[in-house]
Amino acid sequence: MKKLDRRLSIAPMMDHTDRHFRYLMRLITRRTLLYTEMITTGALLHGPRDDLLAFSTEEHPIALQLGGNQPDKLAECAGLAEDRGYDEVNLNVGCPSDRVLNGRFGACLMAEPELVAECVRRMIQEISIPVTVKTRIGIDDRDRYEHLCKFIEIVRTAGCNTFIIHARKAWLSGLSPKQNREIPPLQYRTVHQLKQDFPDLEIVINGGFTKLEQVGCQLTMVDGVMIGRGVIHNPYLLAEADRQIFGLRSAVPSREAILEHYLRYIEQQLVQGAHLQAMTRHVLGLYLGQYGARKFRRILTENARKTGSGRAVFTQALAAVQTVPQI
């Protein structure tokens, strides 16, 4: 089995890590592992399968995240992912949304480690690409370190060697998904301890990272770092990832070069019927912290939804960040 480099990855995020976003990120970093949004087994088996699984070859390495709790259905979906060319299948055991809880999957599966193990076992039997699990450090009152260790111990016996741990617990009732990403405190030490207690497992830490320096520091204690919201707000934060994290000698892409490439992609996608706004929304943070960034955002936001908009909107937005005021 090909070993995937998980030193740095971009988190699965519903409504964000769609294929346009992933393509954009691939223009910024060639090596960072990309995750899809969570796709449920129900959607994949009964919905528009080809659309849900679609990705561009440039997006490799790419992992598909699945949501579900039925071993056979997960195995079938994992098979579809492998056939479509994904590099990894990840099981979501960390999402606390009501929709997910009603379906009895996501974070609530932390209370059913045997079922998770069975899901993993069936998926591993079905495919030859890696199967990984993304989870939390605990849920509700099952938040002691012993609970987490027991969960890991049981799931690893099914053959899962890679765990991505969002370093905060989730409250399954009373908090919205957004609050569950902010209110329970981050406990990085728990994840570091996990790596010490399970040194043969690959442990990826997630939660609250916004700088590459933090990634470098974490990599002295765990095997990988996954970043979510930090990249949405500031996609360019990964511009030096290939050099700093993966040791490549490639040149750091300029924002303008990224935009020019992305624009070519946009033009291709528009011909195929994609909506401009669905693609421009991902670049809104590209100039974060630069002169004219707010105007850049505003021009794109206001104009991208107008019918017939295309390259001209970008040219106008780009002018806003290139016109440095004379002093």
What token pair was written down for 101? 């809880």
Of 33 and 263, which CB lies nearer to ligand FMN in the complex structure?
A: 33
Q: How far is the CB of 89 from ligand FMN (least distance, A)?
A: 13
How far CA 242 is from CA of 6, 36, 160, 195, 262, in Å, comes to 12, 20, 27, 24, 19
Q: Which of 77, 95, 108, 119 is catalytic?
A: 95
Cβ at position 323, least distance to ligand FMN in Å: 33
Q: Could you give the CA distance from residue 141 to residue 130 in angstroms, rounded to a whole number?
A: 31
Q: Rounded CA gap, 273 and 311, in Å? A: 16
**φ, ψ for residue 275 (rounded to 5)?**
-90, 135
Q: Does the annotation count 160 as an active-site position?
A: no
DSSP H helical segments within the chain, as ranges? 19-28, 41-46, 49-53, 71-84, 98-102, 113-126, 145-157, 188-197, 212-218, 229-233, 241-244, 255-271, 276-280, 293-303, 311-322
Closest distance between ligand FMN and the C-beta of residue 108, in Å?
13
What spatial distance separates the first Cα and last Cα of the chain, rounded to whole Å?
59
User: Which residue, 55 or 209, is less far from ligand FMN as judged by CB?
Assistant: 209
Closer CB to ligand FMN, residue 184 or residue 292? 184
Nearer to ligand FMN by C-beta: 215 or 321?
215
Given the rule CB under 6 A, which residues bind ligand FMN? 11-16, 37-38, 65, 92, 94-95, 134, 166, 181, 206-209, 227-230
Shortest distance, position 135 Cβ to ligand FMN, whole Å: 9
Closest-approach residue to ligand FMN (CB): 228
List, by residue number, the catalytic residues.
95
